[in-house]
Amino acid sequence: MTARELYLLARARLGEAGIDSPGFDVSLLAERFLGLNRPALAMHGDTVPNEEKRREFLEALDQRAARRPLQYILGEWPFMSLTLKVGEGVLVPREDTAVLVEAMGPMLERGARGLDLCAGTGAVGLGLCSIVPGIEVTCVELDELALGYLRENTARYPEYSCTAVKGDVLGAPEGFPHGLDFIASNPPYIATEELPALQPEVQKEPPLALDGGGDGLKFYRAILESWAALLRPGGLLGVETGEDQGAAVMELFARHGFTDIALHRDLAGLHRAVTGRSAV
């Protein structure tokens, strides 16, 4: 089969499997496994891939049709200016998280020190390092599988002062310094009862990175009750939120004495992040 025939076959297959964006997915699979991006497919679609490339492409197609996340199949995914390693056991970096990073970035100064809690791939910590020169971020992650990806990603960008450590955000922050300039987090925030209704791909992501407890606010409470005490007076706290959680999270910030509390929306106007300043 030619590359074009493989592309058309794959697009039809993913459409039948219920994939929302079959053309987009197939174009990335073709680039990764056939070595042909979308313009190259248009120009060289009559070429016949060798047997190894054809086999790898069709195997990847089978995985995607079974609703394995595209990001896991590719093994890495772009986030802002970064390319992050991903796979089973770690949350996929999403555009939504860029709202948090881009909101916090202008509020931080060169040399600021802080934490990225529930760090996963390190998207938030590394993202902040990529837009704020000279900051130091300690990325905290509990799960061993996710921690492996976090260490790979921080090692991939040695120009940034971004380190990975194991830690439980639901526990006491023992061994972490006080007087921090900022804390950032994209915590689990989906209410437990909502997990079974998530897309098949999302259900293949680690439950530990998704489950925010009965009301989805468990991790926000833990951060505000325990970790926020590590901030210096005026220190910045920023968290990603679900699209309907902004008001509830802002109320938690206010209840814990934060000031300058702000809600940040994405381009569609949906709630994506909350920031505030420590008053203590």
What pLDDT tens digit does each residue of the chain (280 aa) get?
898 999 999 999 999 999 999 999 999 999 999 988 888 888 877 888 889 999 999 999 999 999 999 999 999 999 999 999 999 999 999 999 999 999 999 999 999 999 999 999 999 999 999 999 999 999 999 999 999 999 999 999 999 999 999 999 999 998 999 999 999 999 999 999 999 999 999 999 999 999 999 999 999 999 999 999 999 999 999 999 999 999 999 999 999 999 999 999 999 999 999 999 998 6
Q: Distances from the Cα of 233 to the Cαs of 180, 198, 229, 276, in angstroms?
A: 9, 39, 9, 11
Neighbours of 249 (CB within 10 A): 24
The Cα 202–Cα 68 span in angstroms is 9
- How many Cβ atoms are within 10 Å of 87's Cβ, its own excluded? 19
Nearest to 254 by CA among 237, 230, 271: 237
244: left (phi over 0), alpha (psi -120 to 50) or beta: alpha
Residue 259 bridge partners (DSSP): 277
Residue with tokens 């989906």, as numbered in its chain: 190
Q: What is the C-alpha end-to-end distance of the chain, expressed in Å?
A: 67
pLDDT at 111: 95
| Cα–Cα dist 244/250, whole Å | 12
Contact 270/217 with Cβ under 8 angstroms?
no
- Fill in the DSSP letter of residue 52: H
DSSP secondary structure letter of residue 209: G
Distance (Å, whole) CA 86 – CA 72: 6
The DSSP letter of residue 197 is: G
- Residue 238 amino acid letter: G
Residue 115 CB neighbours (<10 A) = 29
Q: In the prediction, which pLDDT does 263 show?
A: 97
